[in-house]
Amino acid sequence: MIKRPEYISKGDTIGITAPAFAPSIEPYSLMYGVAVKKLKERGYNIIEGPTVFTGDGIGISTDPKVCAKELVEFYTRDDVDAIISAGGGELMNETITYVDFEALKSAKPKWFLGYSDNTNFIFPLVTISGVMGIYGPCICHFSKAWEKPEDDVFALLEGTGTSFTGYDRFVRPRPRTSPLEDGAPRDEASLEKVFSVPYDYDADKILVSYDCVGGKAVKAGDSQTLSMSGVLLGGCLDVLEHLVGTRFDNMKKFNEENPDVIWMLEACDFTTLEIRRSLWNLREAGWFDSAKGFLIGRPYGAFESNIMGVDQYNAVTAMLEGLGVPIILDADFGHLDPQLALVMGAKASVTVTGNDMRVDYLNG
């Protein structure tokens, strides 16, 4: 059985560490301060690792050995009740080189929250260590005005909710720019005003769902309900495809022990062709042998893209329709906000009708 960490509550301590990217430059360094203030106002104590404030690494916060040591230390410390990653990034795979996931089996389980490059830790935490993790926003995200997505994250951390739905609107891909103007004041009140704003929604959420009866993907009707039950598992495809065949690939044993898996997958920088190739890779490696369904988040780099006839939809259906299970695309998680945080390793039931998606956790 995959272990669920204890829920946290006011007065507990959240540790923040940077096993991938560190918010050591603007605007992230400024967003970080606003986010931490909000967590403290919610009633939490904060312990910050030195990696959060470093930026001397190459493509990462600092030396991967240092990142790994701090991450494991935070995970095993008695005075840290949960961990929120300082950020995503690009090279956290080098950090986990120095993480012994077999040894973490004997540690007291605790919640780890992060997404994107943090797939490198959450995925083997579930598949090797046998502990649930939350695929959701990193610390700087909480500098914004809190809306339902932020409340949902803490409902998972605090154990106040077991059923969650998607969101009606989302933010289309746009250049990543700083909201701070040159010469803008950096005092606390000014920073809160700049960063504490709601999402700038500019598009209606439309789920694209397929019922793969007979191994052929057929688009579901607006009133048709698709459902799947199993253990939630997945993360960022940009990361997952590089774990295949490494010592962090425990999927053969995991599938034997968990015959029903709901895969949740999303892509950051991948083109449509790279999405298609990575899904082929995971499929041929046997990762999807226990799949009972797929939730595919809106892709960042490949959104509304078409390369040589391959778009964000057939890149997926062409590789997965032969598995004969439901496929839900453009779901509310990943690199296009808002994100619906999901508990990796938890047993869940997912139902989708039209543009409505509901996730019900079955083991508390």
Q: Give tens-digit pLDDT for 344-357.
A: 999 999 999 999 99
The pair phi, psi for residue 153, each rounded to 5°, is -60, -45
Residue pair 298/334 in contact by the 8 Å Cβ criterion: yes
pLDDT of 185 reads 81
**322 pLDDT higher than 90:** yes
CATH topology of domain 13-161: Rossmann fold (3.40.50)
Among 117-131, 175-189, 295-309, the minimum mean pLDDT is found in 175-189
**Whole-number pLDDT of residue 184:** 80
Report d(CA 14, CA 40) in Å as an integer. 10
Instruction: Report the alpha-carbon distance of residue 71 to residue 85 in Å, rounded.
Output: 9
Mean residue pLDDT of the chain comes to: 96
Q: How many CA atoms lie within 13 A of 354 on its CB side?
A: 6
The per-residue pLDDT for range 221-240, each reduced to its tens digit, is 999 999 999 999 999 999 99
Sign of CA dihedral 198, 204, 208, 209: positive
Predicted pLDDT of residue 100: 97
Instruction: Please check the confidence at residue 334 and state whether its pLDDT lies above 80.
Output: yes
Confidence band for 363, pLDDT divided at 50, 70 and 90: confident
pLDDT, residue 183, reads: 77
State the fold for domain 205-361: Glucose Oxidase; domain 1 (3.50.30)
| Ranges of each domain in the chain | 13-161, 205-361
Q: How far is CA 144 from CA 37, 69, 331, in A?
A: 12, 30, 22
Quick one: pLDDT at residue 364?
53
pLDDT of 120 above 60: yes
